[in-house]
Amino acid sequence: MGIFAQKPKITQRTTSAESKLPGRVQAQQRRQVNSILYLQRTTGNQAVQQVLQTDAKQVEAGNPVVTGLVQRRPSSKELKQRQRAKALQAADARTLLQTSLPFVLERMTGEQVQQMQRVLDAAVINPDVQKEYKDLYRQSIVAQSGSLVMRDPKKVRRAERAMESFIPVTEADKRIRLDFKALLTTEALQPTTDNPDEAVYLEKVWQTLEARGVWLRFAPQLVRDPEEPSRHFFDPRTFEAWLSLGPNGDTIPTEAGRLTRKALLGTTEFGAGYYEHVHQGVVQSALEKETRRLLSEIESGVMQHNMLAKIRRDAFFGVTEISDFLGGADFPDRSIWDQPHQLVLKAMDLNIGGNVRGSQAFLVAAAILTRNAGRLLSEYIDDTSSGAERAVAVLKVVKTAGEVAEVGLAVTGVAGVVRGAGRVVAGEAGAAGATAATGGSVDAAAEQLVRQYVAKNPEIAGELANVRWVPGPRGSVAGGVKPGSSSGAGTGWHSW
């Protein structure tokens, strides 16, 4: 009984002692937690201060600093993989980019550089890991009979542990989408000509860059085998890096990584598109077509003029003079075709340079001069009745020259009409060209166009600055010149 009586006391004392112990333990744990939190705060503040100081030094040095991003600290496993990769002479991402694309490297984040380095490390580590695994797995065989194989479990586990160093890499890891806006130079997408088609196309280039992006791509380089020069192989320790349009698109031939105008238009897709939509675009094509068309009509007018001159020379003495006097006719001088011919050649020359405004002004001026020259010759034919066939040929020159003038006025002012119909029809609504055609004031619109061009380009438009704008003979675009309205004195109308 005594023994049992003592047990409750002992139990009570033990319970009392145990009840005091948790309080001490909890207090001690709180002190430890507070110490850990203090260390974490101190370490974190020091790390933040170190980052800020590093960023400040980068700013002072003129190097860009990516803000708002926290670079992940590599794990111990990744550090070991990096050391192993260095031992195997893996390519270094920063060295590769600094050599080939330094402008890109300055604008990449730490995560992007790490992604690239991971792929470069995998190129040398994975083959080594696979070889080690195969050797260990082969060594794990302790007995074999036919298809039955017995392996040492310890060696199998060792082989499996070796595979833990394998770096999984996908095709998506071998390309990195960059911020193309940070790589664009200021002049890259600025039009260099006054061709409106160029501005439209460069806007399409911007939209394509936004939709498909600019990507950094890298792959092992094909090198020559030093032991067998005729053999080439992809060296996992030698990589090449380049930029492409889209993840699998055309290579962008850039210098240092800058997206200049030369680099963008050097890309196959953009270069071919520029040729198709600008060099061979609707504006350039219309000007080239109308220039050739007008040149052909000038040659036709000169031919008809020469034929009439020959008829006059071959006639008996006094016949042509009496005929001209009775009909009130005045045979124009051959020089009326010289100036429009010179102006159309100048229009062709300016069109080669890509600046359509100058080509447009010279073409319109040449067309008006050609139309008026044709009217003068048509008037002489009407007054002398020199032949219906010849009159029709000259009227065609007049009509075509008038149409060329209207198209020339509309080629930039009413681009929609040119794109939709390929030609301007008098009476269509639009800007300056169509309005001039509707109001019958092609001459006034042409005069305004040329004066504006001369004011902006006095050094180029010397031939136009001396042109004196006067209306042509009264009549319709197709001819119908009234008799007796020639320039007189037998010299013809030959200058403005």
pLDDT recorded at residue 25:
45
Q: Is 179 left (phi over 0), alpha (psi -120 to 50) or beta?
A: beta
pLDDT recorded at residue 112:
96
pLDDT recorded at residue 41:
59
Query: Are 178 and 260 contained in the same domain?
Result: yes
Angle at CA of residue 376, ends 375 and 377, nearest 5°: 90
Q: Is residue 496 part of a domain?
A: no
Q: Is residue 209 part of a domain?
A: yes
Query: Are 390 and 262 contained in the same domain?
Result: no
pLDDT recorded at residue 209:
97
pLDDT recorded at residue 171:
94
Query: Are 407 and 288 contained in the same domain?
Result: yes
Q: Is residue 226 part of a domain?
A: yes
- For every one of its 496 residues, what pLDDT tens digit does the chain have, with 9 covering 90 and above? 333 344 444 444 444 444 444 555 455 555 554 555 555 555 555 555 665 565 555 545 544 444 444 456 778 888 888 999 999 999 999 999 999 999 999 999 999 999 999 999 999 999 999 999 999 999 999 888 888 889 999 999 999 999 999 999 999 999 999 999 999 999 999 999 889 999 999 999 999 999 999 999 999 999 888 888 888 889 999 999 999 999 999 999 998 999 999 999 999 999 999 999 999 999 998 888 888 889 998 998 888 888 887 877 776 665 555 555 545 567 788 888 998 999 889 888 888 777 888 888 888 888 888 888 888 888 777 766 555 555 667 677 778 777 877 877 777 653 333 333 344 333 333 333 333 343 347 778 877 888 788 788 777 766 776 565 544 444 333 333 333 433 333 333 333 3
pLDDT recorded at residue 27:
52
**Residue 197 belongs to what domain range?**
76-278
Query: Are 318 and 219 contained in the same domain?
Result: no
pLDDT recorded at residue 474:
44
Q: Is residue 484 part of a domain?
A: no
Q: pTM of the entire structure?
A: 0.67
Query: Are 225 and 236 contained in the same domain?
Result: yes
Q: In angstroms, rounded to a whole number, what is the distance separating the alpha carbons of residues 279 and 275?
A: 5
Number of domains making up the chain: 2
Query: Are 272 and 295 contained in the same domain?
Result: no
Query: Are 259 and 383 contained in the same domain?
Result: no
The last residue of a domain, from among 217, 247, 278: 278
Query: Are 195 and 169 contained in the same domain?
Result: yes
Query: Are 274 and 287 contained in the same domain?
Result: no
Query: Are 81 and 204 contained in the same domain?
Result: yes
Query: Are 237 and 334 contained in the same domain?
Result: no
Query: Are 294 and 350 contained in the same domain?
Result: yes
pLDDT recorded at residue 422:
40
Q: Is residue 112 part of a domain?
A: yes
260 touches 254 (CB < 8 A): yes
The last residue of a domain, from among 244, 278, 312: 278
Return the closest-CA partner of residue 347 out of 367, 362, 357, 337: 362
pLDDT recorded at residue 416:
36
Q: Is residue 224 part of a domain?
A: yes
Q: Is residue 489 part of a domain?
A: no
Q: Is residue 295 part of a domain?
A: yes
pLDDT recorded at residue 318:
57
